[in-house]
Chains A and B, each alone.
Chain A
């Protein structure tokens, strides 16, 4: 476990850089994380992030892309537009959660 400083926030992260302490996350932190990966957070991004945080709090698991798509009724294609290239991992990162473990 190590720490890294992003946007003035000192954050506990794993080897790859994903946050490991849920309590260190805030909307300001999310904005700073998103900036690091070239994503500008707008209202749809926040909807997705809230869903991820709520699901993780409830189930202990980061939802997969499909779960986000069906849960929020957002087409997968649009999720790829919001968080390009690797949407499931990117949204988990910005939400301060571990990568999803599910296959689908």
Chain B
């Protein structure tokens, strides 16, 4: 049964405005393995699609996600990961990391989910902000020219905390 609840003067229309709260999301990406790169990217992308301001901070091993030399070649290893449901002894066999990485990449691509560099490009295109950690850059002797061109700057942890005042924070 259908009921007409809304007269012509006030049609039922979904709300598509940005959250009036000025909601912001800060995501700290601290891992450099292929499987742990994706949660931050997917959540950032989802939040941007909801009109939420998003800042990603790449630190420590997460620096590999924006390091030109490694970003397209992140790896996945079953070692120490019981969720692969493989006998733990197999994970350390020669070639297993390459095999597991290949399979994971294929599963991701089959879902039409982009690889890391293309995903970062999509996040930028959606208005997201990418920041590199100063200490990680110094430790690895890297400068902005070593990093993905979409990174807005190399900043300290306190600068990131300042700029994300009031934001909800995810540490991955």
The closest CB in chain A to the CB of B51 belongs to A85
The closest CB in chain A to the CB of B1 belongs to A1
A16 to B15 alpha-carbon distance, docked (Å): 8
Please pick, from B4, B8, B13, B18, the residue contacting A85 in the complex, using a CB distance under 8 A. B18
A101 at the interface (CB under 8 A from B): no
What is the distance, in angstroms, from A25's C-beta to the closest C-beta of chain B?
Answer: 15
User: Please, how many residues of chain A have a CB less than 8 angstroms from a CB on the other chain?
Assistant: 33
B7 at the interface (CB under 8 A from A): yes
Contact A80 B2 (CB under 8 A): no
Contact A2 B3 (CB under 8 A): yes
Chain B residues within 8 Å of A66, by CB: 112-114, 122
B87 at the interface (CB under 8 A from A): no
Chain A residues within 8 Å of B46, by CB: 103
Contact A87 B49 (CB under 8 A): yes
Contact B12 A12 (CB under 8 A): no
Contact mask A1-27 → B, CB, 8 Å, 1/0? 111111000101100111000000000
Contact B126 A5 (CB under 8 A): no
B30 at the interface (CB under 8 A from A): no
B111 at the interface (CB under 8 A from A): yes
The closest CB in chain A to the CB of B15 belongs to A16
Contact A5 B8 (CB under 8 A): yes
B22 at the interface (CB under 8 A from A): no
Contact B7 A5 (CB under 8 A): yes
What is the distance, in angstroms, from A104's C-beta to the closest C-beta of chain B?
Answer: 5
A73 to B50 alpha-carbon distance, docked (Å): 22
Apart from A66-B114, A70-B112, 4 more pairs, CB < 8 Å: A4-B13, A17-B11, A37-B13, A93-B16
What are 13 inter-chain pairs, A to B, with CB distance below 8 A? Answer: A1-B2, A2-B5, A2-B12, A3-B4, A16-B14, A18-B14, A69-B122, A70-B112, A80-B125, A85-B18, A86-B50, A89-B16, A104-B111
* B interface residues, Cβ below 8 angstroms from A: 2-8, 11-14, 16-18, 42, 45-46, 49-51, 111-114, 119, 122, 124-127
Closest 10 CB pairs of A and B: A77-B125, A76-B125, A4-B12, A17-B12, A85-B51, A16-B14, A4-B6, A17-B14, A6-B11, A36-B13
